[in-house]
Amino acid sequence: MSNTNASLAHERSKKMTSPLETINDYLKDDMLAVNEMILSRMQSNVDLIPRLAAYLIAAGGKRIRPLLTLSTTALYNGDMIRAHKLSSAVEFIHTATLLHDDVVDESDTRRGKDAANLVFGNQASVLVGDFLFSRAFQLMTEDGNLDILRILSSASAIIAEGEVMQLTTAGNIDTTMNDYIEVIKAKTAALFTAACEVGPVIAGADITAAKAMADYGLYLGIAFQIADDALDYMAEREKLGKTVGDDFREGKMTAPILLALQKAKNENNEEELKFWKRVISDLDQKDGDLQTAQNIFEKHDIYSETLKLAHNYGDKAIAALEHAPEHPLKASLKELVNYSITRET
């Protein structure tokens, strides 16, 4: 094991009780209510809908996005009953995007089991994803707050834009780091942002509070996705029942690739530049190419560089959280930032 991977493994091994577990314990009754609402609202007279939805929802997941809505509502002493409904809406949006993503990406696995599109087919996955989006909007309108409807509906549109943006950058080795950040702001961080911003709005807090929590969610979401993109190339991913190198095989322009390309350009390394053009731009991949990519990452310490970038955004998330009032959850939300970067999931 390289020094880089050894240090990452050591960093992860230091975990005892994760901040997610702490937050879950604090909000135990609220999360039970959210889970009950999710199960209730995914029901339909069309039997395939709850079966497919349950297949993905029952497969696990950390429920980090609804936990963020519950947490930021609690931070500002908001109405937790309203938060239950809106946290459920957030999770439905997230689940719908997963169903659609797996069809677009032709994914084989999700949460350690066959992806829903392999089990039920692409058509059913897309349509049940649409159903869950619709359920989310029903929950939003039942709340009756136009600001909340604006926040969550805008996030839904931005997520779709982000997925399309990622399609346009795939295989394009001229993609810049700024382009990449814009993609993950939209496809991942937008829902983190909305999930956090909703809390102060439920509580009737002022616009400064909503902006601070939105910033926390934005930077947390960016850091989360950058770390996830590094994890895609690391052996730890296999422990989660996920395939290593999915992004590589799809030619996705993520932080590790962009940083490795920049290293090759800076060093005028024609061999590496030709390699990246062949495997990413031309998608002409052969046996052993993924290992070659991983070797290049090791050579240039790309994993550490990627996590350093994630931590830069994580620091911004922690700074935004300083504006929140003192609360038992505040420390755990700070710890959640680093956990999201060094996590094994």
**How many CB atoms neighbour CB 95 within 10 A?**
24
Q: Reduce the DSSP state of residue 109 to 3 states and report it.
A: strand
Say how far apart CA 265 and CA 258 lie, in whole Å: 11
Task: Take residue 295 and report the two structure tokens written for it.
Answer: 């070797």
Whole-number pLDDT of residue 4: 47
- Picking from 53-62, 106-115, 278-287, which range would have the lowest pLDDT averaged per residue? 106-115
Q: How many domains does the chain have?
A: 1
User: What is the arithmetic mean of pLDDT over 267-283?
Assistant: 97
pLDDT per residue as tens digits for the range 73-98: 999 999 999 999 999 999 999 999 99
pTM of the model: 0.91
Q: Please give the residue range of the domain that contains residue 236.
A: 17-342
pLDDT per residue as tens digits for the range 146-159: 999 999 999 999 99
Q: Is the pLDDT of residue 247 over 50?
A: yes
Give the pLDDT band (50/70/90) at residue 62: confident
Say how far apart CA 336 and CA 281 lie, in whole Å: 36
Domain assignment of residue 8, yes or no: no
Task: Take residue 215 and report the two structure tokens written for it.
Answer: 């910033």
CB 309 within 8 A of CB 300: no
Domain assignment of residue 216, yes or no: yes
Residue type, 160: A
Say how far apart CA 249 and CA 245 lie, in whole Å: 6
Domain assignment of residue 102, yes or no: yes
Q: At what angle do helices 177-184 and 255-266 cross, to 10 degrees?
A: 180
Domain assignment of residue 193, yes or no: yes
pLDDT per residue as tens digits for the range 100-147: 988 887 777 776 678 888 889 999 999 999 999 999 999 999 999 999
Domain assignment of residue 267, yes or no: yes
Task: Take residue 57 and report the two structure tokens written for it.
Answer: 């929802």
Give the pLDDT band (50/70/90) at residue 72: very high
Residue type, 184: I
Whole-number pLDDT of residue 170: 94
Q: Which of 38, 59, 63 is nearest to 111 (CA)?
A: 59
Say how far apart CA 340 and CA 334 lie, in whole Å: 10
Q: The tokens 């230091």 sit on which residue?
A: 14
Domain assignment of residue 5, yes or no: no
CATH number of the domain to which 175 belongs: 1.10.600.10
Domain assignment of residue 12, yes or no: no
Domain assignment of residue 7, yes or no: no
Q: The tokens 């897309």 sit on which residue?
A: 126
pLDDT per residue as tens digits for the range 3-55: 444 444 444 444 468 999 999 999 999 999 999 999 999 999 999 999 999 98
